[in-house]
A and B are shown apart, each in its own frame.
Chain A
């Protein structure tokens, strides 16, 4: 089992390298330190929300609400900042909005027995509507330099947002591979009935997992707001699809029960590298969309073929 996983990750990793090689050959601007940092920074938001998505998808669930939850926690945090609430506290407020929205998803799915698709589809609309209603549809802009440092600053030559992404990935990898929560995440997705029978409090863990997904939406909102110097109620539209794509490209099965955190990182980087490289080459926008779609399908095709071969 573990070996199959490794080979599959290896496949996507090779895919990423091939892509990088291709752009390196084609563009003199691709393989420079500043562009690589640029890609890492541009990928950080999608990469962070993809972590929550990975946990959710391993349980055989889905979180369609994450883009809207990001927008809602962003505008609430921004209004706190504008009201003069200290930065750490404002961020905490944003996190809470994300965590509570995610936990509501969890409760609807665990105790309400709603399919995750339906529960989070509803939340997608509720959170978006709440963000628009809360702000009257207008963006909240203009923050202090110390807040904007969270996205635009550098620590040891590396952008702050990239550090945040790295820390999230290290923690998430540890949680998924070394803790009870991680083992139960796989168990729930692999066979939920068996998980219940073996005494796992499945409902409780689902609430936690969806809550954390929402919380990471809040973290994404911090970086996005700092980056744009503005919190928009219409931010993050369709981010959920990018996050799902990154997760699935990274080898997590939509059927649940398998997936890795580093796979998701590779998936997010593939999307980030593609967008960046296509821009550098000046590929027309419409063709970019076709290529991105083709690569997503190609990556999954590669994955399923490999899996078949192994079996």
Chain B
């Protein structure tokens, strides 16, 4: 029985491993892209962009992600394992702005160039630890937040009550968006932020937290969610709860497919479009340039823009 089970298990596992393993013996250099999670359309788009570029440039591409977005320790383990595997370049969207710095130092020691995508690392800690990155590719989240702030300010004619749904506290991405949003609102000093709470980037929490906000602040006029999943959650809370006295302007971030749909049918007001496909593509393209010994700039900006119903092309 024991032998039978071992044979059964190995016969299932062996072909799976074998199939995945072939690429590493071919001659082309290998680029690894480590994203935060693959349960989010944003990172799936990034994956698509990276895959297209890898095909074009004839590079091997390995894409890995932790099981859970919050699990930065697992992301660290994945990078350690990629260092063991001696991949040629590692591109990573950090799940923590500080926590990954030790493992980046280790990639430096192994002479593997590191490209940071989408989420910035803590510059101060990076410097004090002596860790080196080749380039940062991403859109300016602060600028995106600022665009959202200016938009809400204009829509409310400079005065009103606004709520914020934050991402996971301490994440650079969410913090920058929130700070950018506050900066954008500075042009409308009569706007009051009634509450700013985290919904951990999640749709279901976006629903619950915004429902609670509606209970305590039924006169809220606009909400800025630091990503579209939370904005969509807030939208669902609004449609199931009519405590709100007036129409609530919902603004998200990321230009998620469903958010675009909601903007088209008028339920949601706006979102900020980043271009994850471009980020993935540029990550692999620049990895290829590094491998050829070409210089790459310290920072490579990716376009960011405000999307409203007016700016959407007609179907």
Binary CB contact string for chain A from 1 to 23 against chain B (1 if under 8 A, 0 otherwise): 00000000001001100100010
Smallest CB gap from B102: residue in A: A229
A203-B85 Cα distance, complex, nearest whole Å: 50
A232-B198 Cα distance, complex, nearest whole Å: 16
Q: Contacts A11-B2, A29-B85, A228-B102 given: A295-B70 contact, CB under 8 Å?
A: no
Q: Contacts A228-B72, A228-B76, A237-B68 given: A136-B17 contact, CB under 8 Å?
A: no
A241-B61 Cα distance, complex, nearest whole Å: 31
A235-B71 Cα distance, complex, nearest whole Å: 7
B1-37 interface (Cβ within 8 A of A): 1-2, 5-6, 9-10, 12-14, 16-18, 20-21, 23-24
A148-B128 Cα distance, complex, nearest whole Å: 14
Chain A residues touching B, range = 35 or more
A301 interfacial by beta-carbon distance below 8 Å: yes
Binary CB contact string for chain A from 125 to 147 against chain B (1 if under 8 A, 0 otherwise): 00000000000111101100000
- Contact between B70 and A227 (Cβ–Cβ < 8 Å)? no
Smallest CB gap from B99: residue in A: A228
Which residue, A136, A137, A306, has most C-beta atoms of chain B within 10 A? Answer: A137
B111 interfacial by beta-carbon distance below 8 Å: no
A305-B5 Cα distance, complex, nearest whole Å: 9
A105 interfacial by beta-carbon distance below 8 Å: no
Binary CB contact string for chain B from 65 to 94 against chain A (1 if under 8 A, 0 otherwise): 111101111101110111011100000000
How many residue-residue contacts, CB under 8 A, span A and B? 138
Contacts of B77 in A (CB 8 A): 42, 275-276, 279
Contacts of A291 in B (CB 8 A): 13, 16
A197 interfacial by beta-carbon distance below 8 Å: no
- Contact between B20 and A281 (Cβ–Cβ < 8 Å)? yes
Contacts of A234 in B (CB 8 A): 70, 168
B138 interfacial by beta-carbon distance below 8 Å: no
Contacts of B1 in A (CB 8 A): 305-306, 309
CB distance from A49 to the nearest CB of B (A): 13
Which 8 A-B pairs have CB atoms at the shortest separation, nearest pair first? A137-B169, A279-B81, A228-B99, A282-B62, A138-B170, A141-B98, A35-B84, A283-B20
Binding site for A on B (CB under 8 A): 1-2, 5-6, 9-10, 12-14, 16-18, 20-21, 23-24, 38, 62-68, 70-74, 76-78, 80-82, 84-86, 96, 98-99, 101-102, 122, 125, 128-129, 168-170, 198
Binding site for B on A (CB under 8 A): 11, 14-15, 18, 22, 26-27, 29, 32, 34-35, 38, 42, 45, 136-139, 141-142, 148, 152, 224, 227-230, 232, 234-235, 237-238, 275-276, 279-287, 289, 291, 294-295, 298, 301-302, 305-306, 309
